[in-house]
Chain A
Amino acid sequence: MNNEELPIFTYSQPGKIGVNLPDASVETTPLPADLLRQDDLAGLPELTEPEVIRHFTRISQRNYSIDTGFYPLGSCTMKYNPKLHEEAARLPGFAAAHPLQDEALSQGALQLMYELQRDLAEISGFDAVSLQPAAGAQGELTGILVFRAYHRDRGDTQRTEVLVPDSAHGTNPATAAMVGLKVVELKSDARGNVDLEDLKAKLSPRTAGMMLTNPNTLGLFEEHIVEICRLVHEAGGLMYGDGANFNAILGIAKPGELGFDFMHYNLHKTFTTPHGGGGPGSGAVGCTAALAPYLPGPRVRQREDGRYEFFTPEKSIGRMKAFHGNFGMLVRAWTYIRSMGAAGLRKVSETAVLNANYVRVMLKDIYPQAVDRICMHEVVLRGQIAGAPKDVRALDIAKRLIDYGFHPPTIYFPLIVPEALMIEPTETESKQTLDRFIATMRQIAGEAIETPEVLHAAPTKAPVRRLDEVRAARQPILRYDAAAISRLQSES
């Protein structure tokens, strides 16, 4: 069977059409010549409707998703997305609401936003929530813009530095740089925590704040979190909490009570809204009462008569997004919180941590753990198998997992761990699935020792073999180019 699916242009044939347009009832006029495309692209592809449907359906069937298999992609929290949420999001009152329709006609949608603001604030220990940001990185940008506005409002214009640990997600330093602040990197200590001495040395009157993920990207709870928050506050800085790993502490620890001033929630990770090609993100943010006046609006509040209304905080940094955030995701997150309940959310984190530690204990004798500690919701192992040739790398192990039908874990992150394999099983997987994954990982370790060439050649059972990632990055083909495609086909 020829598995290859070519670009849609290659199926085009002049004159084929998929849609019969009615005759124009008005006089037609050709487009002015200066508005016509003048490049070498010979128009749009011409296909029948079934050909278009089959092309895109075939491509969609190549997709790997959480609905087709285990997806332990560390840091991404690829948990199952309950179908109940889809039903809620499709209720006509939500799905057909227009973002510009009158508040009086949108009371149900406003009530849902109000309750979600309140629930997220309760779960995280904060005073105020804005649902505006479109995803996690925009939540970060919101937070650091709020920090800057807060310091400026106090007349303190010297605070130009943001402290970021060397284990952080790349979005943290990128966020600080985007706000025009200087990134100061903090070292990690031998137990995977922020190095307190390094932190003390780098705090100064220039410190605007610190960005910290807890549990951190090593999947470890920051053991000195209270001390870190105290030190940063004493230096006049603010604490930003990256909520990427919030899935590990629901109902157990509240960032607001640990000492954070601001955080974002990845509704698309922790609160199960579909992501990774399955839907947009949602990066709602929460903060202390002191920072609430700067939050982006509109937010929702309840009037004395019980009705709901939008308002914009008095010193708001402004909008972060058109209309009201990714509203469909807010409906799904609200549904999740209501269907789990407080006890259920705590169970989510307990099970996520238990699952990760089960994988950790069952694999760490062959895949050394980056830092030998009990982990939280994910575990970082090293793809360095004793007895295997040195040129067997994390990449080879990841590619071989594809042959066995698993999505690979995150590899080469965090950057401070050589040959990192970052595994996040999540709470929605059964022990049977985890056991199958563990057995496969152990089998691959055996192959790495006895038949390393099998790993180097992997994947061999996927629709496409190993891609030349280096060439794709160095010589990208970014649009349909018939000559380039036929050249590539003749090479392979």
Chain B
Amino acid sequence: MAYNTPADLRYSKTHEWVRQEGDEVVIGITDYAQHALGDVVYIELPAVGSTITAGEPFGVVESVKASSDLYAPLSGEVVAVNTDLESDQAPINNDPYGAGWMLRVRPSGASEELLDAAAYAAFVAEIEQ
């Protein structure tokens, strides 16, 4: 099955995406992730001003099927949180790369291994096998 993997983003192997915007990055979960989870019904995100650590959980996303940790693709300080998702989680499924964004972070250096779109698409294809 083909999933949307925009070329201008970088991806973690735990299915989060990262978009560079100036000095900051925006983070969300991928189209593959939302598809695998099914309809998201609850989300827990960190507070503005807290720090996230590359490879460590930064929140929880719950669907009708399962509850899963969200993993930080990189370390940094949280400068904004998409609080709209607390009351309406549908954008995580309908628009994972747009209105479904989760965090805006000022990176502090450390990062997980991030893939480009082609490498991530190949990684997903391998999982689907």
Question: Measuring CB to CB, which residues of chain A are less than 8 angstroms from any residue of chain B?
Answer: 170, 390, 412-413, 415, 418, 469-470, 473-474
Main SS of the interface on chain A? loop
* Complex A-B, nearest 4 residue pairs according to Cβ-Cβ distance, in ascending order: A473-B41, A470-B39, A412-B65, A469-B64
Chain A residues near B88 (CB, 8 Å)? Answer: 474
* Beta-carbon contact of A170 and B41 below 8 Å: no
Chain B residues near A474 (CB, 8 Å)? Answer: 41, 88-90
Chain A residues near B36 (CB, 8 Å)? Answer: 418
**Chain A CB within 8 A of B66 CB:** yes
* Beta-carbon contact of B67 and A473 below 8 Å: no
**Chain A CB within 8 A of B7 CB:** no
Which one, B1, B42, B66, B68, contacts A473 given CB within 8 A?
B42
- What 0/1 pattern do residues 27 to 40 of B give for CB contact below 8 A with A? 00000000010010
Which one, A170, A415, A418, A470, contacts B64 given CB within 8 A?
A470
Chain B residues near A170 (CB, 8 Å)? Answer: 67
Give chain A nearest CB distance to B82 CB in angstroms. Answer: 16
Chain B residues near A469 (CB, 8 Å)? Answer: 39, 64
* Beta-carbon contact of A390 and B65 below 8 Å: no
Give chain B nearest CB distance to A302 CB in angstroms. Answer: 45
Give chain A nearest CB distance to B6 CB in angstroms. Answer: 23
Interface size on B, residues (CB 8 A): 13
For this complex, 6 residue pairs linking A to B, each with C-beta atoms less than 8 Å apart, are: A170-B67, A415-B68, A469-B39, A470-B39, A470-B64, A474-B89
Determine the distance from Cα of A413 to Cα of B65 in the docked complex, in whole angstroms: 8
Give chain B nearest CB distance to A323 CB in angstroms. Answer: 33
| Further pairs besides A469-B39, A474-B41, A474-B88: 7, Cβ < 8 Å | A390-B1, A412-B65, A415-B68, A418-B36, A469-B64, A473-B42, A474-B90
Determine the distance from Cα of A474 to Cα of B62 in the docked complex, in whole angstroms: 11
Give chain A nearest CB distance to B90 CB in angstroms. Answer: 8
* Beta-carbon contact of B41 and A470 below 8 Å: yes
Chain B residues near A415 (CB, 8 Å)? Answer: 66, 68
Which has the most chain A C-beta neighbours within 10 Å: B65, B68, B88, B89?
A: B65
The A-contacting residues of B in range 47-99, CB under 8 angstroms, are 64-68, 88-90
Determine the distance from Cα of A413 to Cα of B67 in the docked complex, in whole angstroms: 11
Which one, A390, A412, A470, contacts B66 given CB within 8 A?
A412
Question: Measuring CB to CB, which residues of chain B are less than 8 angstroms from any residue of chain A?
Answer: 1, 36, 39, 41-42, 64-68, 88-90
Determine the distance from Cα of A474 to Cα of B41 in the docked complex, in whole angstroms: 5
Chain A residues near B1 (CB, 8 Å)? Answer: 390
Determine the distance from Cα of A469 to Cα of B63 in the docked complex, in whole angstroms: 10
User: Nearest CB to that of A393 among chain B residues?
Assistant: B38
User: Nearest CB to that of B67 among chain A residues?
Assistant: A170
User: Nearest CB to that of B90 among chain A residues?
Assistant: A474
Chain A residues near B90 (CB, 8 Å)? Answer: 474
Determine the distance from Cα of A412 to Cα of B66 in the docked complex, in whole angstroms: 8
User: Nearest CB to that of A173 among chain B residues?
Assistant: B69
Determine the distance from Cα of A469 to Cα of B88 in the docked complex, in whole angstroms: 15
Determine the distance from Cα of A412 to Cα of B88 in the docked complex, in whole angstroms: 24
Chain B residues near A470 (CB, 8 Å)? Answer: 39, 41, 64
Determine the distance from Cα of A473 to Cα of B64 in the docked complex, in whole angstroms: 8
Determine the distance from Cα of A170 to Cα of B62 in the docked complex, in whole angstroms: 13
User: Nearest CB to that of A174 among chain B residues?
Assistant: B67
Chain A residues near B41 (CB, 8 Å)? Answer: 470, 473-474
User: Nearest CB to that of B64 among chain A residues?
Assistant: A469
Determine the distance from Cα of A414 to Cα of B18 in the docked complex, in whole angstroms: 29
Give chain B nearest CB distance to A201 CB in angstroms. Answer: 14
Determine the distance from Cα of A390 to Cα of B90 in the docked complex, in whole angstroms: 22
User: Nearest CB to that of B88 among chain A residues?
Assistant: A474
User: Nearest CB to that of A419 among chain B residues?
Assistant: B65
Give chain A nearest CB distance to B21 CB in angstroms. Answer: 29
Determine the distance from Cα of A470 to Cα of B90 in the docked complex, in whole angstroms: 10
Determine the distance from Cα of A170 to Cα of B69 in the docked complex, in whole angstroms: 12
Determine the distance from Cα of A469 to Cα of B40 in the docked complex, in whole angstroms: 11
Give chain B nearest CB distance to A408 CB in angstroms. Answer: 14
Chain A residues near B64 (CB, 8 Å)? Answer: 469-470, 473
User: Nearest CB to that of A469 among chain B residues?
Assistant: B64
Determine the distance from Cα of A474 to Cα of B90 in the docked complex, in whole angstroms: 9
Chain B residues near A412 (CB, 8 Å)? Answer: 65-66
Chain B residues near A418 (CB, 8 Å)? Answer: 36
Chain B residues near A390 (CB, 8 Å)? Answer: 1
User: Nearest CB to that of B66 among chain A residues?
Assistant: A415
User: Nearest CB to that of A476 among chain B residues?
Assistant: B41
User: Nearest CB to that of B57 among chain A residues?
Assistant: A183
Chain A residues near B89 (CB, 8 Å)? Answer: 474
